[in-house]
Structure 1
């Protein structure tokens, strides 16, 4: 009978203490040093990867929500960065869509609330009473500061999305259909006037046409004197009414004459403008503006489908929202509610804009654009064009981002346009290209006044057409054969 060897007891697996294996979830509660170190880790993890603190030390269901939202946020940011580099127009199209902006606003508010919830839960997991006495205050303050940074950023971004949606709705609420560029250009009529309370009419103080090259973004601004007479009209109701141009027309009752800036009063108040331009209101325009468009087309010989109107009464607010503008002043100009007396002296002068480099606030810039008693109308046109370019220069991404709320609020108060919202992405792309190039300006006035040699009282429109065409479509240089 064989005797079997005694069996050995099975080897027992030695497990390490759970406290050492998972120190963040099961720490040594009796060690202030361990709890302090753990507390700092949890706070940092909560900031860098919201939800990760809960994943390693707390409620895993809350962790899934936090980490899922974090991953989705980083994915959207990455997609936005890639789109900005490769599909900029598509990004702008999404960023200016009212539904996308509404969804972004809701999501950002949700992120802000989630960060608050996760931070409060993280502080609960830290167990401050178990940390070192000095560290308790530091951990708590750091967690709150990081919560304000993250949640506050999301909350601010949410308000920006809401302001963008409101501003786009207010400015582009009613706009006409998109049209392709005309001869390679998007031409936009830029109008400036003072519609202050108490005025029963409005004459355009500033009339210019911005021509944007549809390929390169190059910008040409053509200034039309507000006192230009005898203007022709492009095909339409005004040409039917005045086939030979606005020659010699005047009306004492309505207070207009044949100057181009009088068209808004003539058509808007003293004619049946709605019958003449029945689609104007539906497209976000007015009969007076449409008549002025027809006149500008006749003057320049180009198609002008869109307009932008800037209310000079609120002009200062936009400049202040941008942080002011930098202007090189060539002649000393008065400011204030100025009146020219019979002897030629001025009363009501509040101050003077001195010659040289000036950083102007909104009020000063407004007087700089309006001042005319010590200079000519042609000089004022040049200053207005100079101010337009200075404002465009202030629309840098950093400036717009930091001052967006005030810029948007000012813009909705003073800007009207019939540019369709679906053109914004394309025009935004061209605007970025335009900032890299010098703006070309053309003034339809005397050469002595800085113009191209046009008499506003008796303009040669054929010459204007030919000159502008040469600027917008310069001849292509031909290669000379090598000899």
Structure 2
């Protein structure tokens, strides 16, 4: 009789044609199917459960926000894929990139909050007390899981956006203008040393120059021995002091040798009051780094506008953030601080060993691999450091960076200092993509490394810097005759 009266009143057909909004609450099977559908629809199309079965105004707002989110996401992906140069340019414009990322972060957090509201509201619309007992826990658990996935993903993405902005802002100089390539190359001085106590007298344990071909992205890494003596300087304050090459300072604190790695100590302690390189700190560098940069320019005969300092004290954290590195070890190496007296066997002081063969190294092992020198030569150590640099570059895959981004960014901020401006991100990111498919060319300026053009080895006690510059020029700009295929 009730159904008949309802039909006569003109309500029954409307009820039967709107099972989502006006279900038969007494039918647990209908309510159960409706509950599963609402939960799934709420995850796939946020706002749709409210339009179908609840507050239409809230639903329309949710649908509009969802459409806007997908539109912005698709637009960002298309820009990154089709208009890559614009995307990289945007990253390089510090203030604009910061403004966009702040807006994006706010939207993502807003979406996360909205999805929580919509998810909880959907669970209310389900009316768990009306569905089958066996399905109540399943529907509630699914709703909770999907709510965590949707809001958690938005929150995670907001964190990624914020980390990207903060990392770029803290590592790279924001205001410095970009520099054009020199003779077809971007050259960067790469320095490695331990920080911490005694930083003022820190000597660089690793000195190399990364040269990136501005057209092809091909990378050449030139290793400069830390003990390279009597180095010439590019024009500047140090060349004025040492027109015939660096011969060191007669001082008890920093006059040990004329080695290139003594320059940081000399500038930071012995010449701290002389006002050399007065703009260094303001430009994100130090007098000691600038002096070392001028020395590297003088040795190689190239222009080096930028530096990157790797803090070996935090180096292991970056390796671990990358998921470790794959290294082929050619000989057994000890871990530890070295012998207590001359001739002490490594077995007596080693705290562990790095065995021969292929290894997937953790950060701690990789750090010892780069440092170990007491059972091998400095030249071998230089080669291992270059090998490790190459292994790390291989780990910077898009997949690895995406899945480990937070860890990599945190470790990278602690481990690296540089004066590379953010405005250089566009050319450097483009070249990095090109470089991935090419082998890294390595040049080692030591007696066991790369021979000079006449076939002779480099004299580590009295280097021929003119011959070294000719070697570097030939390696970076191979002779046209060598590029011409044989008939």
Shorter chain as denominator, the TM-score bin is: over 0.9
Q: Residue in 2 aligned with 1:134?
A: 134
- Rounded to whole Å, the distance in 2 between the matches of 1:166 and 1:30 is 56
Report if the CA contact (8 A) 2:177-2:423 is conserved: no
Judging changes above 3 Å, is the alpha-carbon distance between structure 1 residues 102 and 377 closer, same or farther for their aligned structure 2 residues?
A: same
Q: Which residue of 1 aligns with 2:72?
A: 76
Partner of 2:104: 104
1:323-381 Cα deviation digits (max 9, x unpaired): 21111001111002222523343443101111101111111111110111100000000
Alignment of 1:344-423 (within 5 A): 344-346=344-346, 347-423=348-424
Given the superposition, is the C-alpha separation of residues 271 and 249 from structure 1 closer, same or farther in structure 2, using an over 3 Å criterion? closer
Contact preservation (8 Å) 1:188, 1:307: yes
Task: Report the secondary structure of 1:365's partner residue.
Answer: helix
Matches within 5 A, 1:250-329: 250-272=250-272, 275-329=275-329
Describe the superposition over 1:137-189 as per-residue Cα deviations: whole angstroms up to 9, x where unpaired.
11111111011111111111112222222222221256633111111111100
Task: Tell me the SS of whatever aligns to 2:283.
Answer: coil
Give the TM-score taking structure 1 as reference length. 0.92
CA distance in structure 2 between the partners assigned to 1:255 and 1:105 by the alignment: 53
Q: CA deviation at 1:122?
A: 0.6
**Partner of residue 35, structure 2:** 39
- Counterparts of 2:376 and 2:102, CA distance in 1: 49
Partners of 2:91 and 2:422 within 8 A in 1: no
Show the counterpart of 1:156: 156
Q: Is the 8 A contact 1:273 1:288 kept in 2?
A: no
Deviation readout 1:15-70 (Å, 9 max, x if unpaired) = 87112222212222222222111111111111111111112221122112211211
Any conservation in 2 of the 1:256–1:266 contact (CA below 8 Å)? no
Q: Which runs of 5+ in 1 are unaligned?
A: 1-11
How many residues are paired up?
470
Q: What is the match of residue 5 of structure 1?
A: none
Q: Distance in 2 between matches of 1:173 and 1:226?
A: 27
CA 1:45–1:324 in 2, change beyond 3 Å: closer, same or farther?
same
Could you tell me whether the CA contact under 8 Å between 2:200 and 2:268 is conserved in 1? no
Structure-2 residue corresponding to 1:192:
192
Deviates more, 1:293-302 or 1:331-340: 331-340
CA contact 2:232–2:245 (8 Å) conserved in 1: yes
- 1:443 corresponds to: 444
State the alpha-carbon separation in 2 of the partners of residues 92 and 147 from structure 1: 34
CA apart distance, 1:196: 2.8
Could you tell me how far apart the structure 1 residues matched to 2:51 and 2:91 are? Answer: 33
Shifted more, 15-24 versus 70-79: the winner is 15-24
RMSD of aligned Cα (Å): 2.2
Matched with 2:13 is 17
Q: Select the residue among 464, 468, 476 that pairs with 1:464.
A: 468
The alpha-carbon distance between structure 1 residues 274 and 402, as it changes in their structure 2 partners (threshold 3 A), is farther
Query: What's the counterpart of residue 9 of structure 1?
Result: none
Residue matched to 1:6: none
Summarize the alignment of residues 468-483 of structure 1 with structure 2, pairs less than 5 Å apart.
468-476=472-480
CA contact (8 A) 1:54 1:62 kept: yes
Structure 1 residue 422 displacement after superposition? 1.5
Q: Displacement, 1:90?
A: 2.4
Query: Gapped runs of 5+ residues in structure 2?
Result: 1-7
- Native 8 Å contact 1:189 1:306 kept in 2: yes
State the TM-score, normalizing by the size of structure 2: 0.91
SS in 2 for 1:275: coil
Contact 2:174–2:422 (Cα < 8 Å) also in 1: no
Distance 1:355 1:464 in 2: 33
More displaced stretch, 82-91 vs 432-441: 82-91
Asked if the contact 2:176/2:423 (under 8 Å) is kept, the reply is no
Does structure 1 residue 115 correspond to structure 2 residue 153? no
Report the Cα offset of residue 456 of structure 1: 2.4
1:88 aligns with 2:67: no
Instruction: Decide whether the 8 Å contact of 1:353 with 1:368 is kept in 2.
Output: yes
Partner SS for 1:17 = helix
Secondary structure of 1:27 counterpart = coil
8 A contact 1:248–1:258 mirrored in 2: yes
Query: 1:255 deviation in Å?
Result: 3.6
- Give the match's secondary structure for 1:299: helix
